[in-house]
């Protein structure tokens, strides 16, 4: 009976059997966490690009409303390239809003929306000429105009949903128009 307690054969296998699930959890958790962080960075890059390029748009009358809408559609068509290798066609919703400060009130001038996700609305505002809710404590001076891009993205983990649950990521970015006022364009957003 004493030999049974002194026998060391198979101890490494038993230790490995205890450690293997923990090692797998660390591996899969690390993969999901890395993927999550990269997706957040891609969403932030998308948001910044949408607001920045819209802010570089020429103002009316150099650009008609139809030309502006075509330009925005072309811009939004680049989202899959920005989000590559992560699928964005059915997983994203983009709202680009132009806001101007009139007196003490920020007002929505127009919005451009694109995306397959339903049931989402702009957190800045949903109606033209309505009071806008500026993100992150942003304040404007009277007459100052900004372009605010909002991006929603549905993130779903590949490996396990117990470590990181599926969630809708939301990011905003704000830029000032650099080619003149963009106040003459029309909204295209219709919310469900």
Report pLDDT for 20. Answer: 93
pLDDT at 57 over 90: no
pLDDT at 5 over 70: no
Contacts of 19 (CB under 8 A, 6+ apart): none
Contacts of 40 (CB under 8 A, 6+ apart): 169, 171
Judge whether 153 and 43 are in contact, CB under 8 Å: yes
Classify 15 as helix, strand or coil: helix
Residue 152 pLDDT level (bands cut at 50, 70, 90): very high
Model confidence over 9-40: pLDDT tens digits?
Answer: 778 888 889 999 999 888 888 888 899 999 99
- d(C-alpha 160, C-alpha 36), whole Å: 12
Report pLDDT for 19. Answer: 93
Lay out the sheet containing 145-155: strands in order across: 105-115, 92-102, 145-155, 167-175
Contacts of 14 (CB under 8 A, 6+ apart): none
Report pLDDT for 68. Answer: 86
pLDDT at 146 over 80: yes
Residue 169 pLDDT level (bands cut at 50, 70, 90): very high
Model confidence over 60-103: pLDDT tens digits?
Answer: 677 888 888 888 988 989 999 999 998 888 889 999 999 999 99
Angle of CA points 48, 97, 52, to nearest 5°:
25
Bond before 85 cis per omega within 30 degrees: yes
Percent helix, strand and coil across the chain, each to the nearest 5 = 35, 20, 40
148 vs 66, residue with greater confidence? 148
Report pLDDT for 7. Answer: 67
pLDDT at 110 over 70: yes
- d(C-alpha 6, C-alpha 120), whole Å: 66
Model confidence over 180-191: pLDDT tens digits?
Answer: 888 788 888 877
pLDDT at 1 over 60: no
Report pLDDT for 113. Answer: 92
């Amino acid at each position: 009976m004493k030999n049974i307690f002194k026998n060391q054969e198979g101890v490494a296998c038993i230790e490995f059997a205890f450690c293997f699930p923990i090692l797998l959890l660390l591996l899969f958790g690390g993969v999901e966490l890395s993927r999550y962080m990269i997706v957040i960075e891609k969403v932030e890059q998308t948001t910044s690009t949408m607001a920045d390029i819209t802010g570089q748009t020429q103002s009316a009358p150099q650009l008609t409303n139809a030309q502006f809408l075509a330009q925005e559609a072309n811009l939004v068509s680049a989202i899959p390239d920005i989000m590559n290798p992560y699928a964005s066609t059915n997983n994203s919703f983009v709202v680009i809003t132009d806001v101007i400060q009139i007196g003490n009130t920020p007002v929505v001038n127009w919005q451009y929306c694109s995306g397959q996700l339903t049931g989402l609305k702009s957190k800045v505002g949903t109606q033209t000429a309505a009071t806008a809710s500026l993100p992150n404590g942003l304040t404007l001076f009277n007459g100052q105009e900004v372009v605010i891009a909002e991006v929603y993205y549905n993130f779903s983990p590949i490996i396990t949903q117990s470590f990181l649950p599926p969630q809708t990521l939301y990011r905003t970015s704000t830029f000032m128009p650099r080619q003149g006022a963009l106040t003459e364009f029309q909204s295209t957003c219709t919310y469900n």
